Structure 1
Amino acid sequence: MVKIMKNIVSFSGGRSSALLVYLMKKQHPDTDFVFMDTGAEHPKPYEFVKNVVKHFDINLTCLRVVVNPELGSGNSYRIISLDELKQDLQPFRDICYKYGTPYIHGAFCTRTMKLEPFTRYCNDKYGKSNYQTWLGIRADEPRRLKAKDGYSYLADICDFDKQDVINWWKRQPFDLEILEHLGNCVFCIKKSISKIALATRDEHKMAENFINLIDDPNIRVVEREQQANKIMYRGNHSFISIIAMYQRYSREEIVNTILGNRAFDSGSCSESCEIFSCQLDFDLNAGDFL
């Protein structure tokens, strides 16, 4: 007897992921949809998520990590309503209190705020190995298309590249109204430092709130061989050092730096932060969250 797997779309809040939501709703109406809220997204993706729910008529489960402050103890999750989606930084603050600030070579934030809550929830609801996780990764993102048991991709059912997706959304009654460098967690450690600089220039208040968070004395101080505490970004940069580095640059000069580095090309992390593609080395069958 062939085992029937439940299809679950892990909706990141980006355009490609939302296209996957649309296609799976059409092709497999019994698909379930899950969104993991980090509390660190720009408000525009939250609006986009709500529009996807409304226009595509889906039942979306929204999750937030519930952090157990005791080291060595597993975290859990809670289900929240659409109205509770907001940029309050609380999940990110909670994981920093427990683990210290994440950094480019230790991006535990995706695992802790997205992968673990998603996996716990799905294992609780459907049973381990009883579901297929779908991610909105396109055909023009070959570096992110990694074969993994239990995972499927937008590229498996649609050959759209980045421009095709943009054009598709132009024909829809709503769109994700945000500049790419502000996508996903606004000050994500996986973004290039020029994108972080541009984000701080465009969102002064958000940058101020983020500085207040990482300067919180309750954040755990961790001694690391490669990264000192609060050195979170590429090139051994802190959030403050990036701001200082680009303070003499005009906004146009920062944009030109990004364009010169091709950081707006397909596959950049500000397009979509997927639970598996950003954690390629994480063993789904290990850890106390299963």
Structure 2
Amino acid sequence: MINVVSFSGGRTSAYLLWLMEQKRRAGKDVHYVFMDTGCEHPMTYRFVREVVKFWDIPLTVLQVDINPELGQPNGYTVWEPKDIQTRMPVLKPFIDMVKKYGTPYVGGAFCTDRLKLVPFTKYCDDHFGRGNYTTWIGIRADEPKRLKPKSGIRYLAELSDFEKEDILAWWKQQPFDLQIPEHLGNCIFCIKKSTQKIGLACKDEEGLQRVFNEVITGSHVRDGHRETPKEIMYRGRMSLDGIAKMYSENDYQALYQDMVRAKRFDTGSCSESCEIFGGQLDFDFGREAA
């Protein structure tokens, strides 16, 4: 059986990749795929390149290729790791997605499906054959709610009993690491993050917040097809700009420490990684692929 590791760009996912690389070098048939949304933090992209460089990983990089016509299926574009932050278009997958479908929102988090799940599945079916591969995902033993049995899916927890603190300790021993705090991981302004994490992200990356706000509110965004306006994406029926303004007067360190005391960074507090089969979605694949 062919093994395909879905690499999210985070520490836990990279640890799974390292474990699977030992198996590949021992003769197992293992492949690695990174699904790029175009909205990751620049340091996440640097981390992905360092994983390839330090571990000599044969990584395939994919971006969804959105067909602008509603009802028509989307495709994918294959890139090389060296194309990250050079030839690969920044934000394009997300911009093309909101042109066709509108913005994702709490209760309608179709972004994982459109940007990651569908193109990943199509690529693997095209290259390995449907039913001929097993997908590996970096979900830990201390994330039992996300460890859902699913045909063709296996998890890091099957290979290692490492919990979050074990992963962090392991990375401290490595020659490189992901150089951003947790609240900036995955898509920087992901709708699955708490409003507090989004507030911190807005303070950390004011320039990126302004750019992303234009991406999700501009005239190019499909609108009028749902009950709430396009800018209402986050918890509490809030917009990105609304969250930024709500926390604009808060002291950064005070907000951060309040979140630590409230255990907002603990495992399970909100999505730490955006995995393609992470249990967040319950869509019909055939319908949502278009």
TM-score by length of 1: 0.93
One-letter amino acid of the counterpart of residue 198, structure 1: L
CA apart distance, 1:268: 4.7
SS at structure 2 position matched to 1:61: strand
SS at structure 1 position matched to 2:236: helix
My pick for the range that moved more, 151-160 or 252-261, is: 252-261
Match of 2:186 among 180, 184, 187: 184
Who is 1:262 aligned against? 263
Residues 7, 31 of structure 1: 8 Å contact kept: yes
SS at structure 2 position matched to 1:65: strand
Matches within 5 A, 1:153-232: 153-225=155-227, 227-232=228-233
SS at structure 1 position matched to 2:64: strand
Which whole-Å CA distance do the structure 1 matches of 2:51 and 2:268 have between them? 22
Who is 1:7 aligned against? 3
Which whole-Å CA distance do the structure 2 matches of 1:268 and 1:20 have between them? 22
Which whole-Å CA distance do the structure 1 matches of 2:82 and 2:105 have between them? 30
Identify unmatched segments of 5+ residues in structure 1.
Answer: none
Which whole-Å CA distance do the structure 1 matches of 2:182 and 2:41 have between them? 11
Number of aligned pairs?
A: 284
CA apart distance, 1:148: 0.3
CA apart distance, 1:170: 0.8
RMSD: 1.7
Please tell me whether residue 21 in structure 1 is matched to residue 17 in structure 2. Answer: yes
CA apart distance, 1:65: 0.4
Who is 1:44 aligned against? 43
One-letter amino acid of the counterpart of residue 178, structure 2: L
CA apart distance, 1:229: 2.1
My pick for the range that moved more, 255-264 or 157-166, is: 255-264
One-letter amino acid of the counterpart of residue 41, structure 1: E
What do the CA deviations read for 1:70-100 (whole angstroms, capped 9, x no partner)? 0111110000122332382111111000001
Matches within 5 A, 1:141-160: 141-160=143-162
What do the CA deviations read for 1:189-232 (whole angstroms, capped 9, x no partner)? 1100010010010111101101121221011003323x332100
Q: Indicate how the Cα distance of structure 1 residues 219 and 40 shifts in structure 2: closer, same or farther if over 3 A, else same.
A: same
Who is 2:125 aligned against? 123
CA apart distance, 1:158: 0.3
One-letter amino acid of the counterpart of residue 196, structure 2: S
Identify unmatched segments of 5+ residues in structure 2.
Answer: none
One-letter amino acid of the counterpart of residue 37, structure 2: T
One-letter amino acid of the counterpart of residue 178, structure 1: I
Q: Indicate how the Cα distance of structure 1 residues 283 and 131 shifts in structure 2: closer, same or farther if over 3 A, else same.
A: farther
Which whole-Å CA distance do the structure 2 matches of 1:178 and 1:271 have between them? 13
Q: Indicate how the Cα distance of structure 1 residues 103 and 80 shifts in structure 2: closer, same or farther if over 3 A, else same.
A: same
CA apart distance, 1:53: 1.0
What do the CA deviations read for 1:28-50 (whole angstroms, capped 9, x no partner)? 43300000001100011111111
What do the CA deviations read for 1:148-203 (whole angstroms, capped 9, x no partner)? 00000000010000000011111111111111100010000110001001001011
My pick for the range that moved more, 141-150 or 22-31, is: 22-31
CA apart distance, 1:288: 6.8
Who is 2:237 aligned against? 236
My pick for the range that moved more, 237-246 or 262-271, is: 262-271
Q: Indicate how the Cα distance of structure 1 residues 105 and 239 shifts in structure 2: closer, same or farther if over 3 A, else same.
A: same
Q: Indicate how the Cα distance of structure 1 residues 120 and 205 shifts in structure 2: closer, same or farther if over 3 A, else same.
A: same
One-letter amino acid of the counterpart of residue 272, structure 1: S
Who is 2:70 aligned against? 71
One-letter amino acid of the counterpart of residue 223, structure 2: V
One-letter amino acid of the counterpart of residue 24, structure 1: M
% identity of equivalent residues: 52
Residues 110, 281 of structure 2: 8 Å contact kept: no
Residues 111, 279 of structure 1: 8 Å contact kept: no
Residues 183, 197 of structure 2: 8 Å contact kept: yes
